[in-house]
Amino acid sequence: MAPTPRRDGEATRQRLLRAALELFTTTGFRATTTPQIAERAGVAEGTIYRHFSSKEQLLNDVYRAAHRWATTLVVETEGPYRTQDRLQRIGRRLLEGAERDPAGARMLLQSREDQYLDDRSREAAREFRGMLQQVIAAGKSDGAIRPGPADLWAAVWLALVGFAAERVAAREWTVEQPQAAQVLDAAWDAIKAG
Amino acid sequence: MAPTPRRDGEATRQRLLRAALELFTTTGFRATTTPQIAERAGVAEGTIYRHFSSKEQLLNDVYRAAHRWATTLVVETEGPYRTQDRLQRIGRRLLEGAERDPAGARMLLQSREDQYLDDRSREAAREFRGMLQQVIAAGKSDGAIRPGPADLWAAVWLALVGFAAERVAAREWTVEQPQAAQVLDAAWDAIKAG
Amino acid sequence: MAPTPRRDGEATRQRLLRAALELFTTTGFRATTTPQIAERAGVAEGTIYRHFSSKEQLLNDVYRAAHRWATTLVVETEGPYRTQDRLQRIGRRLLEGAERDPAGARMLLQSREDQYLDDRSREAAREFRGMLQQVIAAGKSDGAIRPGPADLWAAVWLALVGFAAERVAAREWTVEQPQAAQVLDAAWDAIKAG
Amino acid sequence: MAPTPRRDGEATRQRLLRAALELFTTTGFRATTTPQIAERAGVAEGTIYRHFSSKEQLLNDVYRAAHRWATTLVVETEGPYRTQDRLQRIGRRLLEGAERDPAGARMLLQSREDQYLDDRSREAAREFRGMLQQVIAAGKSDGAIRPGPADLWAAVWLALVGFAAERVAAREWTVEQPQAAQVLDAAWDAIKAG
DNA sequence: TATGAATGAGTGTTCATTCAT
DNA sequence: AATGAATGAACACTCATTCAT
């Protein structure tokens, strides 16, 4: 009957992002209701709107956070590596991410809910894929990659890593099981030259 | 409180199936409303329920039709072919299907909406994937396929064909453009031995 | 796909009246659907409207039939009997009716669905109750009935007979069990002169 | 997409219970629509579902409230009275209740809508009737009541009180008019010994 | 900052009624 | 006389969003 408890505002925001992320990636954006999000976050329904202007805004924030993490991850693998090795490291870290945070990996790699994304989110997705394309493009100029556009092979490689990540996120595989490495190898074989 | 036109009942059913297929694969199951389906089919909303017991039932009927088509397609490629050739033919025909009927191909190859499928639909999906696994398993016994379980490589191959089919369905590619063939080749390279 | 079978039209009408009677008295008027009525009568939905202009019309026809039967029954007990004996005979025959045709007795004696009755139905109900009042009024002039208006004691007597009839219609009692006779006696004691 | 006024939540709940009670007892459960309930309560349709999980739940809550009141009423008449006097007091208070709250009395005494009641509601009805049976059973052991089971005479007595209560609820009678007392007397005569 | 009661447009579904056959 | 596909208004119920507290 009065304002109420009191929590660190930032913590509340994080709890909402996490609750939304988990629900959106398992139940889907449309099928997830704001009461569900609030309940999982342990706050009242109205509190969502203190931190996000709408359910779509919440989706977009969650989506961009996943892509920022992935973009950072690609940046961190920069160095004097051959393309194959670098992709291997990126793939490995994506799967480790899927193990540690299944929901985050799914938000990144499955592309349901595209229709609800705003321009900034699309830009974030482009940035992540663009970084991958640069990795592949570098490989192309070394002759390590098949003929054909770099963005095509980036998308192909990512499709297979996404496939493996979903298995890991679903707890059907762990990163240490051979299937994970086998699919990463297959992803490389799909795009490598010759 | 009134009836209308008069149409062959079976034709109405087909129009509803088609309308639903197109909307579900573009807008998504939850985001598609029964008024939208009815409008696109050119019938009144209530008419949906003369032919299908629920929106979910309509999804399942549409889903199974897509899988029956695909299962038939795999059966039709039986013959004295090498695994690589047979997969090539299957892949080619799936992409041709995506060109002719984008919505049908998407219903088959993207797996959103799994949560709304009933047992018979899951069985239809299993049957289709099972046929593909048999093709791959035959290749394995010839030593043409990588080490690892046949169902894994069937899923990997299908993930890449699904990727290409989505591009074709989206009219970004045609079957005749080089990317289509390149991705089919890449899909084979991803799973072939050595 | 063509007009169809062929049944004696009168028989169809009777089957519809019976189906409606049974459903209205068990499920209620609003909760009974025209598909249910058609199914129970073994005809198509549209056939209802060849015989009755609406669901309400069907209710009213069924209602009047029940009251015509009851009015006849009262008339048939005319004769040189004492009021008590005549009421005893009427009550007995109403309970026998409830045993033979539970639905008909319920339509007569429970007064749900009054709101859907038309003027002719209300007149039929008035006629039946009017006959009973005459029986009671005759008793009053003999000094056999309590002080107070005849229509009051007719209603009181009928309330108790309706109570017993419902038990019989529900197959909780038979007419031969002592409760039936006890309640008829109680109904007389409720209205007889002190 | 907007909220409004602001009212004490409990008050809203009471308004909904009252609106539903009045509509259910006059129009019937099935024929009463949620828009009607909301309008009469002066709230939006969706507000119903903040307080009750379904229209049936609302019926059951209303039903149990009526039976709790009646059970309390019977308890309050306990004391060193003869059975006849105690029933007289109970009947009188039920009729006063019908005058003060016609809808409540109807919910208690007419038994339409039984089919929508849940187990707790049936239990509440059993409790009320059970208390009446105890009153009658006490009379039986004093030899004041007719031969036959106490629950039968409780039901008979209640049928006649219900008849009178309906007249009072319909404003055809007041409690002070002679008919009310006459019917209470008749109800006693219907069940008393000898 | 947080609450949660309230909103009302929108959802999937039902059903009495019509009418071409 | 009979059919049954079609209608569309109405139904019970949901849910993203608002705002007085």
What's the sign of the alpha-carbon dihedral C66, C67, C70, C75? negative
Q: Which of residues 56-95 of C touch strand E (CB under 7 A)?
A: 56
Strand, coil or helix: C119:
helix
Candidates D163, D166, D192: best to mutate against C (most CBs of C within 10 A) is: D163
Q: Cα–Cα distance between B144 and B84 in angstroms, integer?
A: 8
Is the model more confident about A1 or about C189? C189
Q: How far is the CA of A94 from the C1' of F17 (A)?
A: 37
What is d(CA D96, CA B88) in angstroms, rounded to the nearest whole number? 88
> B–D contact (≥3 CB pairs within 8 Å)?
no
- Which domains does chain D possess? 1-52 (1.10.10.60), 64-191 (1.10.357.10)
C20-CA/F1-C1' distance, Å: 20
D3 touches strand E (CB under 7 A): yes
**Nucleotides of chain F within 7 Å of a protein C-beta?**
1-21
Q: What is the mean pLDDT of residues C28-41?
A: 97
Please identify which residue in the block is written with the tokens 């809550």: D61
User: Any atom of strand E under 7 A from CB of A6?
Assistant: yes
> Between chains, do C156 and D152 touch, taking CB under 8 Å as contact?
no
Beta bridge partners of D145: D192
Contacts of D87 (CB under 8 A, 6+ apart): D135, D136, D139, D157, D187, D188
C-alpha A180/C-alpha A186 separation (Å) is: 10
**CB atoms < 10 A from the CB of C194, how many?**
6
Beta bridge partners of A127: none
pLDDT, tens digit, 9 for 90 and up, residues C38-74:
999 999 999 999 999 999 999 999 999 999 999 999 9
Q: By C-alpha distance, which of D28, D51, D194 is closest to D106?
A: D28
Best of C36, C183, C184, C192 to disrupt the D interface (most D CBs within 10 Å) is: C183
Please, which residues bridge with residue A33 across strands? Answer: none
Cα Rg for chain B, rounded, in angstroms?
19
Confidence grade of residue A10 (pLDDT, cut at 50, 70, 90): confident
Chains D and C touch (3+ CB pairs under 8 A): yes
The whole-angstrom separation of Cα C93 and Cα C116 is 28
pLDDT tens-place string over residues A93-144: 999 999 999 999 999 999 899 999 999 999 999 999 999 999 999 999 999 9
Of C45, C44, C48, C46, the residue nearest C17 (C-alpha)? C48
Provide residues of A within 8 Å CB-CB of chain B. Answer: 27-28, 30-31, 112, 115, 146-149, 152-153, 155-156, 159-160, 163, 178-179, 182-183, 186-187, 189-191
pLDDT tens digits, residue range B16-45? Answer: 999 999 999 999 999 999 999 999 999 999
Q: What is the pLDDT of residues C86-141, one digit of tens each?
A: 999 999 999 999 999 999 999 999 989 999 999 999 999 999 999 999 999 999 99
Q: How far apart are CA C36 and CA C33, in angstroms?
A: 5
CA dist., res. A88 & res. A85, Å (int) = 5
Higher pLDDT, B96 or D1: B96
Residue D67 CA to residue C57 CA, distance in Å, equals: 36
A in contact with C (at least 3 C-beta pairs within 8 A): no
Q: Is the CB of D51 under 7 A from strand E?
A: yes
Q: Which residues from B are below 8 Å from A when comparing CB atoms?
A: 27-28, 30-31, 112, 115, 146-149, 152-153, 155-156, 159-160, 163, 178-179, 182-183, 186-187, 189-191
Q: How many CB atoms lie within 10 A of CB B132?
A: 22
DSSP lists the bridge partners of residue C192 as C145
Does the pLDDT of residue B9 top 80, yes or no? Answer: no
Q: Is the pLDDT of residue A82 over 80?
A: yes
Distance of CA A66 to the CA centre of its chain: 5
| DSSP code for C173 | S
Q: Which residues contact D141 (CB under 8 A, 6 or more apart)?
A: none
Instruction: For residue B73, give both structure tokens.
Output: 């397609």
Nearest CB among C179, C183, C190 relative to D186 is that of: C190
In this prediction, residues A13-23 reach a mean pLDDT of 98
| pLDDT at residue B165, rounded to an integer | 98
Q: What is the pLDDT of residues C128-176, one digit of tens each?
A: 999 999 999 999 999 999 999 999 999 999 999 999 999 999 999 999 9
- Taking the C-alpha atoms of residue D150 and residue D137, their distance in angstroms, rounded to an integer, is 5
Q: What is the distance between the alpha carbons of residues B136 and B131, in angstroms, rounded to a whole number?
A: 9
User: Which residues of chain C between 89 and 128 are close to nucleic strand E, CB under 7 A?
Assistant: none
User: B153 by DSSP, 3-state: which?
Assistant: helix
Residue B122 reports pLDDT greater than 70: yes
Query: What pLDDT, on a 0 to 100 scale, did the predictor assign at position B2?
Result: 55
Sort out which chain D residues have CB atoms less than 8 A from C152's CB and list them: 179, 182-183
Cα separation, D124 vs D101, in Å, equals: 19
Q: Does residue D2 sit in helix, strand or coil? A: coil
Closest C1' nucleotide to B57's CA = E12
In tens, the pLDDT along A162-193 reads 999 999 999 999 999 999 999 999 999 999 99
At B53, the amino acid letter reads S
Mapping DSSP onto H, E and C, the string for chain A reads CCCCCCCCHHHHHHHHHHHHHHHHHHHCCCCCCHHHHHHHHCCCHHHHHHHCCCHHHHHHHHHHHHHHHHHHHHHHCCCCCCHHHHHHHHHHHHHHHHHHCHHHHHHHHCCCCHHHCCHHHHHHHHHHHHHHHHHHHHHHHCCCECCCCHHHHHHHHHHHHHHHHHHHHCCCCCCCCHHHHHHHHHHHHHHECC
Mean pLDDT of chain B: 95
The pLDDT value given to residue B194: 81
Substitution target from D30, D145, D172 for chain C, most C beta carbons within 10 A: D30
Contact across the interface for C163 and D163, Cβ inside 8 Å: no
Write out residues in chain D with pLDDT < 70, as ranges: 1-9
Enumerate the residues of chain D whose CB falls inside 8 A of the CB of residue C182: 146-148, 152
Q: Which residues of B touch A160 (CB under 8 A)?
A: 156, 159-160, 190
How many Å from the CA of B116 to C1' of F15?
A: 20
The H-assigned helical ranges of B42-82 are: 48-51, 55-76
Residue B23 CA: distances (Å) to CA of B85, B162, D28, D134: 35, 19, 41, 65
Angle at B33 between CA B27 and CA B34, to 5 degrees: 130
Q: Which residue of A has its CA nearest to B114?
A: A27
Task: Give me Rg for the CA atoms of chain C.
Answer: 19
The mean pLDDT of chain A is 94
- Per the CB < 8 A criterion, the answer to whether C167 and C181 are in contact is no
